[in-house]
Amino acid sequence: MSKQKVVFITGATSGFGRATARRFADAGWALVLSGRRYERLEALKQELQGKVPVHIAALDVRDAEAVSAMVAAVPEAFRPITTLVNNAGLALAPEPAQKVALEDWHTMIDTNVKGLVNVTHALLPQLLETGAGASIVNLGSVAGQWPYPGSHVYGASKAFVKQFSYNLRCDLISTGVRVTDLAPGMAETEFTLVRTRGDQGASEKLYRGTHPLSAEDIAEQIFYIATLPPHININRLEIMPSRQAWAPFAVDRDPA
């Protein structure tokens, strides 16, 4: 067990996180899975523990003390961590910034920024112990590079993910620990349901008539990044569906 590779996944209860757990389990990696919804973690454990060892823990990444305690409580059999997948995150309030509650901005910052650094800081010692071949895969977004209406703090938080990943790379250059900002475009998960507070119609409208990425598409890229030869680091990987691209610049014009 000590030589078995171990992946630590935040936000493992749905979407990218759950698909990533399944992909790594198929390849024989041990799993440390966290998320806020314990019943979903338990169901995923029951599904996958016949293939690989699975450790689960309910966790809100915004709580730094809880993150430290959870990492400290990971059983010795699951140490050290080989790959960290910082997947926990969310978008809220797709309305224009001037119509958004400050609380929603704070929630995105606390989850997408503070949560990311809480988990990374807590797990760095184990990743450094693993050394060559260890990986940190941070889930960013095309919104961290390309602005669009309603992205306000969400896009800004994902720009933080990108720059934090780059800066971390600089600090870890001699350690063997790799860092990647993985930035998906349109992907059909629970993302829009969360963003619109359960508006199924809005979610269906976004994906209707096109072919978005799937959670499994992103999980496959995460697995690819984590299993590259130790001398290779992908700094940033931006992925869009072939039917998604950039729009022209918006121009505000006087009434005719």
Task: Grade residue 2 by pLDDT with cuts at 50, 70 and 90.
Answer: very low
In the DSSP assignment, the letter for residue 213 is B
245 falls within a domain: no
Is residue 150 in a domain? Answer: yes
- Determine how many CB atoms are found less than 10 A away from the CB of residue 29: 21
Burial class (CB in 10 A: 0-12, 13-18, 19+), 222: buried
- Tell me the average pLDDT across 196-215: 85
Q: Cβ neighbours of residue 251 under 8 Å, at least 6 residues apart?
A: none
29-53: pLDDT as tens digits = 999 999 999 999 999 999 999 999 9
For every residue of 140-180, DSSP letters joined together read --GGGTS--TT-HHHHHHHHHHHHHHHHHHHHTTTTS-EEE
Strand residue runs (E) in 36-79: 54-58
Looking at residue 10, which CATH number applies to its domain?
3.40.50.720
Distance in angstroms (rounded) separating the CA atoms of residues 62 and 107 = 9
The whole-number pLDDT of residue 95 equals 93
DSSP helix/strand/coil, 239: strand
- Exposure of 218 in the CB half-sphere (CA atoms within 13 A): 32
d(CA 27, CA 62): 30
Strands 236-239 and 6-9: unpaired
DSSP 187: B
CB 208 within 8 A of CB 178: no
Using 50, 70 and 90 to split pLDDT, how confident is the model at 1?
Answer: very low
Marked catalytic residue, from 38, 154, 166, 207? 154
**pTM to 2 decimal places:** 0.94
Count of domains observed in the chain: 1
Find the mean pLDDT for residues 16-35.
Answer: 98
Region 5-26: mean pLDDT is 97
Instruction: Find the helix or strand (DSSP H, E) in which 125 lies.
Output: helix 116-130
Q: Is residue 255 part of a domain?
A: no
Average pLDDT of the chain, as a whole number? 95
Residue 202: pLDDT band with limits 50, 70, 90 = confident
- Whole-number Å distance between alpha carbons of 256 and 253: 8
Find the mean pLDDT for residues 9-34: 97
pLDDT at 21: 98
Q: Which range marks the domain in which residue 227 is found?
A: 6-239
Is-contact 54 48, C-beta < 8 A? yes
Q: Please enumerate in sequence order all residues whose Cβ is within 8 A of that of 4, keeping only pairs 6 or more positions apart, or say none.
A: 28, 29, 30, 52, 53
213 located within any domain: yes
pLDDT at 195: 73
154 as an active site residue: the answer is yes
